[in-house]
Amino acid sequence: MKSHSNLDKKINTYLNKEFTGIGESQQLYELKEELSINLKERTKDYEKKGQTEDEAFKEAVSSMGDLSGLKEDMRRLGEDQARKEVYTSMASRVSAAGLIVGILVIVFGALTTLMLSFMDLPSEAVTGPAIFIVAGGALITYSLLTRETSKYYAMTKVRALLYTLAVGTVLFSLFTAFTSGFATGEMFIAISSFMVFFIIGLGLWLSLLFTVRTSRRK
């Protein structure tokens, strides 16, 4: 873990130095995140060949080639306030739409479940519509993480999707626990159903938590 932390610091220091003097933007944040992942993967590949971390990192940087073209693109973008505002505005609208739809889906699932609970139906049929709560929770998670704020850049889409998968899996574990528990009346079945999906979701969430990339703070 300490080695990974040192490598993350080296990569962040290198990228920050390379892009010094370039106006900050969501696109620059995403580019640095992509380069960070690329550099880490290349460094690990060179380490597997027997090189030390320092040697592997230098080799990885060298293999990236000349970044002047990317830096010039980011420099122009940083100076083009209009393009930055359009990009941010579009992303903000998409995120807001996702939040609205996610909330509505959760409300629909909750109200439908409540309605069915007053009907003479099997318990598993009553809890079935709660799957909409799982979907709505996942959608809200993704929309929040990909939303740029005054203090933070939006998380990159791939990482946001992985966090969404983790949250969705945890919510699904609760759904399966209630559904299987009501259907069978056996608590051990509910717990075993919950445990499998919960551990998977928690494991994915922890792996993301302990592999933090570049800081999202502006």
DSSP string, 50-118: T--HHHHHHHHHHHT---HHHHHHHHHHHH-HHHHHHHHHHHHHHHHHHHHHHHHHHHHHHHHHHHHHT
Which of 54, 79, 104 corresponds to the end of one domain? 79
Give the Å distances, CA to CA, from 96 to 3, 106, 107, 160.
39, 15, 17, 15
Within-domain flag for 218: no
Could you tell me if 112 and 22 lie in one domain? no
DSSP letter at 23 equals P
Q: Has residue 116 got a pLDDT over 70?
A: yes
Residues 55 and 7 in one domain: yes
**DSSP-assigned letter for residue 130:** G
Domain end, chosen from 39, 60, 79, is at: 79
Q: In terms of pLDDT, which residue wins out, 26 or 60?
A: 60
- The answer to whether position 178 is within a domain reads yes
Q: Count of alpha carbons within 13 Å of 136, Cβ hemisphere only? A: 17
Whether residues 133 and 192 fall in one domain: yes
Examine the domain organization and report whether 121 and 193 are in the same domain. Answer: yes
Structurally, how many domains does the chain consist of? 2
168 against 127, higher pLDDT: 168
* Intra-chain end-to-end CA distance of the chain, in Å: 26
User: Of the ranges 24-38, 74-88, 169-183, which one carries the lowest mean pLDDT score?
Assistant: 74-88
Spatial distance between the Cα atoms of 148 and 216, rounded to a whole number of angstroms: 10
**pLDDT score for 1:** 47
Q: Which of 79, 103, 137 is the last residue of a domain?
A: 79
60 and 168 fall within a common domain: no
Q: 138 is in which domain, residue-wise? A: 88-209
Could you tell me if residue 46 is inside a domain? yes
pTM score of the predicted model: 0.76
DSSP label at residue 156: P
Assess whether 104 and 67 both reside in one domain: no
